[in-house]
Amino acid sequence: MIRFTDARYSPAWVAVLSGLLIWMTLAGPETATAADKPFYEGKTIRVIVPFSPGGGTDNYARFAARHWVKYIPGNPKILVQNMPGGGGALTFGYLYSKASRDGLTLGVASEGIPVRRLLRRPGHTYKFTEMSLIASAPSSTTHFAGKSLGIKELSDLKKTSGKIVAGDTQKGSTVAIVSGLIFQLLGLEYRQVYGYSSYGEARLALLKGEVNMTGGDAFNYALVVKPLEEKGDVTILFQSGLLDSQGKVTRHPAMPHLRTVKEGFVELFGKEPSGTVWEAIKGIIAVNTLGKSVWAPPGVPEARVRVLEDGFRKMVADPAFQADAVKVMGGKNDAVIGKDAQAALKQFFGLPEEVVKLYR
């Protein structure tokens, strides 16, 4: 115990110092508790989707947010907001230059947004290399026809050359690019109509007969496309697929019964595809590894990025999450986390110039 016996200390000073010691004793543990409090406790994370509601990116963001929040220390709220415009340019321009750097504002990209950045589309001036890629869930595009095209089987596609009108969001969309490349690979004449705010809107246009072909991705297949297929409103032709570690094209686990475009080519022509157009399609299939990717703005403290990564990792490892993924999304939902996701991004931005020219 400290005793104030020195004559130099007046009774008034003794009272002040004693009060200070009492305050330090009481405040010390409370201050330590505040320091140990998880950053995200009592806070709201805003997750921005760069497209209108109803598309695969929006469906995935809302599904993942519902689960992810349970694995982030402090159990924050997650608010999903839509900010459509410029095929993702509005959202990622905002995320890159204006969003808060505290880890409370994130964005979700479709695989088409890195493609548009690669192609230097207008407005896509942000830099992915300066942002933090938290996690990505591999995707795969689907391609289907409406009743107005008048086909029931893949073999009927050969009869539709010159009649195909495909509905797309914009040039640079992954679905739009791979659709055009597939039509070229199959030797089909086609026309693409751009301007739909999402592939949900393009799908509605298909059902109205405004266009006769469109696409989507694995994250809206089970929710909306499969029911349309079962009703006979659409005919699904193929999925783009994924690349495994050996470079082999495989089916997405959410759509294990749907043929890949490679399988469709073999079915139609009796041989495997080859050539520059096929290599370009494989490039798009490769970027499907980045499927739906979650990003933080530049400058977010690394410790907070690690917390978000770890939460995502725990989420996809939880059997309860995977069971819900099968129920809602149609299949198990894996994810590539942190540095592994960054490696996939680096590989995509390292594609040969001749393939990039073909995309353009």
85 band by pLDDT with thresholds 50, 70 and 90: very high
Q: Are strands 292-296 and 105-109 parallel, antiparallel or unpaired?
A: antiparallel
Q: What average pLDDT does the segment 46-56 reach? A: 92
What's the confidence (pLDDT) of residue 348? 77
Rounded to whole angstroms, the Cα distance separating 42 from 260 reads 45
pTM: 0.69
Length of the chain: 360
CA distance 238 to 222: 15
Q: Which residue has the higher pLDDT, 304 or 292?
A: 304
What is the chain's mean pLDDT, rounded?
Answer: 86
Q: Give yes or no for residue 7 having a pLDDT over 70.
A: no
Model confidence at 4: pLDDT above 50? no
Domain boundaries, the chain: 44-138+289-359, 141-287
- Is residue 337 pLDDT above 80, yes or no? yes
Most confident stretch, 35-44, 151-160, 300-309: 300-309
Residue 315, pLDDT > 80, answer yes
Averaged pLDDT for residues 56-78: 93
How does strand 336-337 pair with strand 249-250?
A: unpaired
Give the CATH number of domain 141-287; options: 3.30.2130.10, 3.40.190.10, 3.50.70.10, 3.40.50.720.
3.40.190.10
Distance CA 234, CA 212 (A): 9
Pick the CATH number of 44-138+289-359 from 3.40.50.300, 3.40.50.880, 3.30.1360.120, 3.40.190.150: 3.40.190.150
Task: State yes or no: pLDDT of 15 exceeds 60.
Answer: no
Can you tell me the mean pLDDT for 3-19? 43
Please, which pLDDT band fits residue 35 given cuts at 50, 70 and 90? low
Tell me the CA distances in angstroms from 70 to 73, 243, 312, 326, 336, one per residue in order.
8, 31, 10, 19, 19
pLDDT digits (tens, 9 = 90+) for 103-157: 999 999 998 898 889 888 899 999 998 999 999 888 889 999 999 999 988 999 9
Please tell me the least confidently modeled range out of 39-43, 159-163, 292-296: 159-163
HEC sequence for 129-194: HHCEEEEEECCCEEEEEEHHHCCCCHHHHHHHCCCEEEECCCCCCHHHHHHHHHHHHCCCCEEEEC
**Does the pLDDT at position 42 exceed 80?**
yes
Examine domains 44-138+289-359 and 141-287 and report if their fold is the same. Answer: yes
Helix or strand holding residue 296 (H, E): strand 292-296
Q: What residue has token string 């809302």?
A: 62
Give the residue ranges of DSSP H helices in 301-351: 302-317, 319-329, 338-348
pLDDT digits (tens, 9 = 90+) for 176-195: 989 999 999 999 999 999 99
Dump pLDDT digits (tens) for 223-261.
889 999 999 999 999 999 987 767 789 898 888 899 999
